[in-house]
């Protein structure tokens, strides 16, 4: 077996999964069988791996405008498309992340006793990179994602990379895959940072080691119909989160719990599920993976953040844009009956951006919004204002974007 020499030059603890010698007398780290990278220091340790990594890095850091990959961008949807690089950084129980590196995109090795696999100790984030008309690349509010991960990590007793480390990892990963950023107007590069308890543990407790991962994927619209209004089915049996739980952070378990209701809704022809509060079962909370808004006259309302609703970054952005456009914005408790009587309803999120709702079904009653299944005037106005900033089509007076190239 090929072994990494990182123990000789690093204070990082050896991996207990190494089979070179019986645990606990481990003298060196195990190498990834797939790509030739150490599972702890992520160094390309074999000559083949070093050669491949050097070639990829030379291509990725070409100072000229990168050639786009040969891809049919017009057919881009929202599904996984493997790119070239991902970013990995680890820390031990001291909580200090260090030695982050880009490596070729691929599988990672986890001990079956890893905390993330047994107890769900993990967080995820989502943000986008857009290509401007001049070919340069913009990130949208990445600082907010970094801060939200810190908050979630504290709730789950996990150390988190600093805001600076988070931003550096995101920037390096995007630039290394910049030829995967779709052409202007054809989509965006979805960025998925993850923080997981990668260390092995048997009892319920914080993991002894953690891994921070960033991978990217080119995407188009989240819903198949693009900007066509979606159909929501109100869920009354299951709830997304409970008071005192983890509904307000992006822990991985929040998303596994919505799959069953979502599948049932799609089998009935709906796009997604609308969840009500778990106490009274009448106040609107959010959709499976996005926040929800209603429009009534000149007032735009969205559910109050009470601890069970994710504080979406797109949600906050739409609130501020709406206020700047002269709308009155309310964050308050909204009953399902109020929502059904709205002039317009729309969802917001990194994945869905701003998606108009065409209908909501509640207790067998279907309520439709708008005419001829078209997006409402306010939804179109807010979508245009939001995406103009994200794509660099207008001056960013809010200071939300970060230009990379």
Q: Which domains does the chain show, CATH number per domain?
A: 85-219 (3.30.470.10), 230-392 (3.20.10.10)
Q: What is the 3-state secondary structure (H, E, C) of 332-377?
A: ECCEHHHHHCCCEEEEEECCCEEEEEEEEEECCEEEECCCCCCCCH
Q: For 61, which DSSP code?
A: T
Question: What's 179's DSSP letter?
Answer: G
pLDDT, tens digit, for every residue of 166-179?
999 999 999 999 99
- Report the distance separating Cα 216 and Cα 192, nearest Å: 6
> Other CB atoms closer than 10 Å to residue 297's CB: what's the count?
9
Q: Is there a contact between 30 and 19 (Cβ–Cβ < 8 Å)?
A: yes
Q: What is the CA radius of gyration of the chain?
A: 23
- Is a pLDDT exceeding 50 seen at residue 28? no
Model confidence pLDDT, tens digit, residues 347-374:
999 999 999 999 999 999 999 998 777 8
Residue 23: what pLDDT?
25
Model confidence pLDDT, tens digit, residues 40-67? 444 555 555 555 555 555 544 443 445 7
pLDDT band at 223 (very low <50, low <70, confident <90, very high): confident
Dig out the tokens for 206 from the structure.
């914080």
Query: Is it true that the peptide bond before 24 is cis, omega within 30 degrees of 0?
Result: yes
Position 66 scores a pLDDT of 52
- Across the strands, what pairs with 109? none
Kindly provide the b/e burial profile for residues 158-190, where b requires at least 16 CB atoms within 10 angstroms of the residue's own CB: bbbbebebbbbbbbbbbbbbbbbbbebebbbbb
What's the Cα-to-Cα distance from 322 to each of 148, 314, 340, rounded to whole Å? 23, 12, 21
Describe the chain by its helix, strand, coil percentages, rounded to 5: 25, 30, 45
Report the pLDDT value the prediction gives residue 47, as an integer from 0 to 100.
55
Over residues 278-324, the pLDDT tens digits come to 999 999 999 999 999 999 999 999 999 999 999 999 999 999 999 99
Condensed to tens digits (0 to 9), the pLDDT of residues 94-141 reads 899 999 999 999 999 999 999 999 999 999 999 999 999 999 999 999
Distance, in Å, from the CA atom of 276 to the CA atom of 240, rounded to the nearest integer, reads 8
List the catalytic residue out of 101, 171, 178, 250.
250
Which of helix, strand or coil describes residue 238?
coil
Q: 32: pLDDT confidence band, cut at 50, 70 and 90?
A: very low
Q: What is the average per-residue pLDDT within 260-268? A: 96
What gap in Å lies between CA 21 and CA 321, rounded to an integer? 60
Q: Judge contact between 285 and 309, C-beta under 8 A.
A: yes
Q: What are phi and psi of 295, to 5 degrees?
A: -120, 130
What is the H or E stretch that residue 274 is in?
strand 272-276
Q: What is the pLDDT of residue 371?
A: 79
**Residue-level pLDDT at 227:** 78
Distance between CA 360 and CA 340 in Å, rounded?
Answer: 7
Integer Cα distance of 341 and 301 in angstroms? 13
Average pLDDT, the chain: 87
The predicted-structure confidence for 145-194, as pLDDT tens digits, reads as follows 999 999 999 999 999 999 999 999 999 999 999 999 999 999 999 999 99
Q: Given a cut of 50, is residue 240 above it in pLDDT?
A: yes
Report pLDDT for 297.
96
- 29 or 57, higher pLDDT: 57
The span from the CA of 367 to the CA of 341, in Å, is 8
Is residue 250 among the annotated active site residues?
Answer: yes
> What would the DSSP string read from start to end of 197-212?
--SB-SSSS--S-EEE
pLDDT at 5 over 50: no
- What percent of the chain is predicted at pLDDT more than 90? 78
What's the DSSP call for residue 71? -
Q: For residue 31, what is the DSSP state? A: B
Residue 54: per-residue pLDDT: 56
In three-state secondary structure terms, 398 is coil
């Amino acid at each position: 077996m090929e072994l990494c020499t990182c123990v000789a030059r690093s204070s990082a603890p050896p991996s207990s999964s190494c089979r070179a010698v019986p645990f606990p007398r481990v003298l060196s780290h195990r190498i990834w069988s797939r790509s030739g990278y150490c599972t702890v220091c992520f160094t390309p340790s074999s000559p083949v791996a070093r050669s491949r990594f050097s070639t990829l890095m030379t291509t990725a850091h070409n100072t000229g405008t990168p050639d786009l990959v040969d891809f049919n961008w017009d057919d881009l949807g929202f599904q996984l498309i493997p790119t070239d690089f991902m970013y990995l950084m680890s820390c031990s129980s001291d909580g200090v992340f260090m030695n982050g590196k880009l490596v070729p995109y691929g599988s990672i090795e986890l001990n079956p006793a890893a905390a993330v696999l047994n107890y769900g100790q993990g967080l995820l984030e989502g943000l986008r990179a857009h290509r401007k008309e001049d070919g340069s690349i913009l990130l949208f509010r990445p600082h907010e994602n970094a801060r939200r991960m810190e908050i979630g990590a504290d709730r789950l007793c996990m150390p988190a990379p600093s805001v600076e480390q988070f931003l550096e990892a995101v920037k390096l990963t995007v630039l290394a895959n910049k030829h995967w950023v779709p052409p202007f107007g054809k989509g965006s590069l979805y960025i998925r940072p993850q923080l997981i308890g990668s260390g092995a543990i048997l009892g319920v407790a914080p993991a002894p080691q953690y891994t921070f991962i960033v991978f990217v994927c080119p995407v188009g619209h989240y819903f198949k119909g693009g900007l066509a209004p979606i159909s929501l089915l109100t869920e009354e049996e299951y709830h997304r989160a409970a008071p005192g739980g983890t509904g307000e952070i992006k822990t991985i378990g929040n998303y596994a719990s919505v799959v069953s209701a979502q599948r049932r809704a799609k089998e009935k022809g709906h796009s997604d599920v609308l969840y009500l509060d778990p106490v009274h079962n009448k106040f609107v909370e959010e959709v499976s993976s996005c926040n929800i808004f209603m429009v009534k006259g000149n007032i735009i309302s969205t559910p109050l953040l009470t601890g069970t609703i994710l504080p979406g970054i797109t949600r906050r952005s739409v609130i501020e844009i709406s206020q700047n456009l002269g709308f009155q914005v309310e964050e308050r408790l909204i009953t399902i009956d109020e929502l059904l009587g709205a002039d317009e309803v729309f969802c917001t999120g990194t994945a869905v951006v701003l998606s108009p709702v065409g209908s909501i079904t509640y207790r067998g009653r279907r309520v439709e919004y708008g005419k001829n299944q078209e997006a409402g005037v306010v939804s179109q106005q807010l979508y245009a204002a939001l995406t103009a900033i994200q794509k660099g089509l207008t001056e960013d007076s809010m200071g939300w974007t970060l230009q990379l190239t």
